[in-house]
Structure 1
């Protein structure tokens, strides 16, 4: 029996204030125009924007010293006048601020939506595990600078406007972006998309259905939390997932096939995958094979004997577009013939 219930933030409504803080990398001057475009887009949607002091700075991969970054995120998370926090993008060293955050206050304060991916998943992951509050792994603030978002990315707002005890469904993309071009206002979705099932023969993908509580993030960053106080995965599984099990959604950036296998092996040995009912893997970014050892070899070596569905090339992570995954929500995944859907229930 689950011992606790996930806490869901109040849904975003017009007139709410979104805090834009940079707890990892900030935004250098050459990219400030993107912040302005994102701000204008958010204001057109009816939201107010409040920027942190360090947002428009960046030096040595961070917006400010760790003490400043932690203080700014703490302030935004605990400010009742801010209803959501959406950082500009990820970065490299968010883990430095975790020991400096006021976790007791975060546990006691009303939850609020935090949206992002890449290094931001380091905070999202810890926030959900430590406080039992839902968090949203999806697009970042800078990628919301276009007035015409693609149908998959645009669902971020629907996800954050869904109330506790309500449900929402997202469907897979038809095309993804093969290369980044920040000169464009949105994504250049130039390559046909197709989710794939590990172990399935090409053209013979049987329909797949599985469910569980969603948890995951960027493997490059969340695996640095293994063995620290900021990743009590076993406690989370016992307290929140005992009845339903889990769906792990994972993506990678800058790792080759061997790196991916090593990270998955470590996660499994740490007990993270106990009770897993299935896995979703995003299209790997910055990826290369290792000799004749490939991405699917890594997945098979790490997870093949668990006898649960493993889907890959999912709309998730550093190769847009991506669905918005809510850590803690009850997820139901359906897949058939290269297409997929994610149904989330906020219970």
Structure 2
């Protein structure tokens, strides 16, 4: 049996305060209108917004010094008026703040929802592994500035409003965005979506289901934590996943096929995939093949001998839209003929 239970934050409710901190990149003056548009939408939904002091700064890829960024996150966790923390977006160097966070306090303070992706998954990953607290890998603050969110993105609020003991199911998108158009709020979903199963042709009639506790993030950033105190994966597997196993959800940004293979190889050698029941990979962003070695070659080379289902081109990560994945939740994935669903139980 599991030795401990995952801690889940209280469901987000109208009247709650959302803290907008920038533990990685901040927002320069030319993009302040993104923050204003997102704030208006949050207030329209009934939430108050509190910005961190460094949010509206960005120099050399970060909002402030690592000491300032860490203290702002520590303060937001200590602030009893803040129920959720949603950074504006990711960045490059969130790992610098991990040694400066008050981890002992984060283990005992009331849990709070933290949501984001890209470099924010560096924090989410460490936060769940170290403290046993659920965290939400999903859309970022500035992408919530549209008045009319697509059906997949819009489920973020339903996920964060799910109670302990509750369940929520999300379904795959019908279309995804082929290119970024940041000048327009919302996503330009212009290309038909189709989830795929490794080892089967794209038009094959296939079906598969698998379940396990969810964990994952952006491979570009979480892989940098291998061998550090901020990725106690084995402890997480032993304490929370001994009965159910895991579902790893992963995505990449700026990696070619060779990079993806090397990162997955390193994760596997570090023991991260012990007890895995299945994988979900997002549509790769900034991607290119390596000679005659492509994305599916990378997945097959790294994971083919594990004999578990591998889904790819899933709604996850840098190619919108994306489902909201909760680290620590008990997930059940159902896939059939290019469509899929993710059921999460907060237990």
Q: TM-score range by the shorter chain?
A: over 0.9
Please list the CA deviations of residues 10-47 of structure 1 after superposition, one character each: whole Å capped at 9, or x if unmatched: 00000000000000000001110000000000000000
Give the match for residue 168 of structure 1.
168
Give the match for residue 69 of structure 2.
69
Q: CA offset at residue 183 of structure 1? A: 1.1
Give the match for residue 212 of structure 1.
212
Q: Secondary structure at the match of 1:105?
A: helix
Give the match for residue 268 of structure 1.
268
Q: CA offset at residue 236 of structure 1? A: 0.3
1:166-245 equivalences under 5 Å are 166-245=166-245
Q: Which runs of 5+ in 1 are unaligned?
A: none
Please list the CA deviations of residues 185-242 of structure 1 after superposition, one character each: whole Å capped at 9, or x if unmatched: 1100000000000000232241100000000000000000000000000000000000
Q: CA offset at residue 78 of structure 1? A: 1.7
Give the match for residue 25 of structure 1.
25
Q: Whole-Å Cα distance in 2 between the matches of residues 132 and 312 of structure 1?
A: 27
RMSD: 0.5
Give the match for residue 88 of structure 1.
88
Give the match for residue 254 of structure 2.
254
Matched, 1:125 2:128: no
Q: Whole-Å Cα distance in 1 between the matches of residues 241 and 158 of structure 2?
A: 25
Q: Whole-Å Cα distance in 2 between the matches of residues 66 and 297 of structure 1?
A: 38
Q: How many residues align?
A: 347
Whether the 8 Å contact between 1:89 and 1:140 is mirrored in structure 2 is yes
Q: Whole-Å Cα distance in 2 between the matches of residues 170 and 317 of structure 1?
A: 15
Q: Secondary structure at the match of 2:296?
A: helix
Q: Whole-Å Cα distance in 1 between the matches of residues 11 and 203 of structure 2?
A: 41
Please list the CA deviations of residues 147-203 of structure 1 after superposition, one character each: whole Å capped at 9, or x if unmatched: 100000000000000000000000000000001111111100000000000000232
Q: Whole-Å Cα distance in 2 between the matches of residues 144 and 110 of structure 1?
A: 26
Give the match for residue 337 of structure 2.
337
Q: Whole-Å Cα distance in 2 between the matches of residues 14 and 202 of structure 1?
A: 43
Q: Secondary structure at the match of 2:153?
A: coil
Q: Whole-Å Cα distance in 2 between the matches of residues 317 and 201 of structure 1?
A: 23
Whether the 8 Å contact between 1:129 and 1:231 is mirrored in structure 2 is yes
Q: CA offset at residue 127 of structure 1? A: 0.2
Q: CA offset at residue 49 of structure 1? A: 0.1
Q: Whole-Å Cα distance in 2 between the matches of residues 205 and 75 of structure 1?
A: 51
Q: Which runs of 4+ in 1 moved over 2 A?
A: none
Whether the 8 Å contact between 1:196 and 1:313 is mirrored in structure 2 is yes
Q: CA offset at residue 2 of structure 1? A: 0.8
1:109-148 equivalences under 5 Å are 109-148=109-148
Whether the 8 Å contact between 1:197 and 1:205 is mirrored in structure 2 is no
In the superposition, the TM-score normalised over structure 2's length comes to: 1.00
Q: Whole-Å Cα distance in 1 between the matches of residues 63 and 148 of structure 2?
A: 29
Matched, 1:15 2:15: yes
